[in-house]
């Protein structure tokens, strides 16, 4: 282990890092700042540049500790979920269509995109960084798609959501708030559009009906007459959804 790695490891060890964490420090020649990768089983890799200041690294880790602890807890409790290897050819779905991953050179302004049937990812320094970039792509693209899709359903139901967006919802596929906002987990955007519509319609119905009783089912079938068939298909496909775990 290099001197930089040893010094940074000692600086991090001096923090109140939970005793049950499995973590390590690695030096990445291409890095310019600290990178943190939470692995699929809840381990933590601190990637630092060769000239890293141990005190600055420790300070950055301390600042991120609350969010990091939540990521470790979530990854450690979802080890049965799909894990993606970020290598060329790995399959990623968007709206039911499968695209193969293509790692492209990293350059200023280059972002994740669909191009000629490939899902292009600027080569990340760590797997965690790559997973976060892909999740951000699903979130941004999913938000645009959902926002365009919602008005027609909302019109049928007679509701007016204040906002519609995709984001990470942890163990939930959809959510609605008393403020009128509707959210769908970005991972749902991997499914065919008729199943994404199911989750979106489900949450729109909750804007006026709580629970899942007769009144709710009536509203759901008003906008999606075949909701029962879609629910059965969703139940069979949702365990295979990728939620961001990488290796």
Is the separation of the CB atoms in 38 and 82 below 8 Å? Answer: no
- Is the pLDDT confidence value at 152 over 70? yes
Which pLDDT value is given to residue 32? 84
Token pair in block for residue 16: 């109140």
**In angstroms, what CA-CA distances link 54 with 27, 35, 43, 51, 217?**
12, 13, 21, 9, 57
Counting residues of the chain whose pLDDT is more than 70, the rounded percentage is 96
- Is the pLDDT confidence value at 134 over 60? yes
Token look-up 């006026």 returns 208
CA angle 38, 42, 47 (to 5 degrees): 30
Q: Say yes or no: domain 83-247 is CATH 3.30.2010.10.
A: yes
Residues 192-215: pLDDT tens digits? 999 999 999 999 999 999 888 899
Helices (H), the chain: 3-13, 54-76, 127-157, 193-205, 214-223, 227-237
Does the model's pTM come out above 0.75?
Answer: no
Which pLDDT value is given to residue 131? 93
- The 35-38 sheet, strands edge to edge: 23-27, 44-48, 35-38
CA angle 185, 128, 81 (to 5 degrees): 50
Rg, C-alpha atoms of the chain: 21
* Secondary structure (H, E, C), 177-245: CCCCEEEEEHHHHHCCHHHHHHHHHHHHHCCCCCCCCHHHHHHHHHHCCCHHHHHHHHHHHHHHCCCCC
More confident residue, 30 or 87: 87
**Domain coordinates in residue numbering, the chain:** 3-76, 83-247
Residues 58-105: pLDDT tens digits? 998 988 888 788 778 766 655 567 889 899 999 999 999 999 999 999
Token pair in block for residue 102: 């293509």
Which pLDDT value is given to residue 243? 92
Q: What are phi and psi of 12, to 5 degrees?
A: -70, -40
């Amino acid at each position: 282990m290099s001197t930089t790695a040893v010094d940074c490891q000692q600086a991090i060890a001096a923090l109140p890092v939970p005793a049950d964490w499995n973590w390590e420090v690695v030096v990445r020649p291409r890095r310019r700042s600290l990178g943190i990768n939470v692995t699929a089983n809840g381990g933590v890799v601190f990637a630092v540049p060769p000239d890293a200041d141990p005190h600055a690294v420790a300070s950055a880790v301390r600042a991120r500790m609350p969010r990091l602890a939540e990521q470790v807890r979530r990854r450690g409790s979802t080890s049965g979920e799909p894990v993606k290897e970020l290598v060329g050819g790995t399959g990623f779905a968007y709206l039911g269509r499968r695209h193969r991953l293509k790692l492209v050179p990293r350059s200023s302004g280059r972002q994740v995109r669909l191009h000629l049937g490939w899902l292009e990812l600027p080569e990340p320094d760590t797997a965690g960084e790559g997973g976060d970039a892909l999740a951000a792509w699903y979130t941004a693209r999913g938000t645009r798609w959902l926002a365009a899709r919602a008005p027609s359903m909302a019109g049928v139901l007679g509701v007016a959501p204040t906002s519609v967006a995709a984001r990470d919802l942890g163990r939930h596929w959809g959510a609605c708030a008393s403020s009128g906002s509707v959210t769908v987990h970005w991972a749902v955007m991997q499914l065919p559009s008729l199943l994404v519509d199911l989750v979106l319609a489900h949450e729109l119905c909750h804007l006026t009906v709580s629970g899942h009783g007769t009144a709710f089912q009536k509203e759901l079938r008003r906008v999606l007459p075949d909701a029962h068939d879609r629910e059965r298909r969703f139940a069979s496909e949702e365990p295979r959804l990728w939620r961001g775990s990488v290796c």
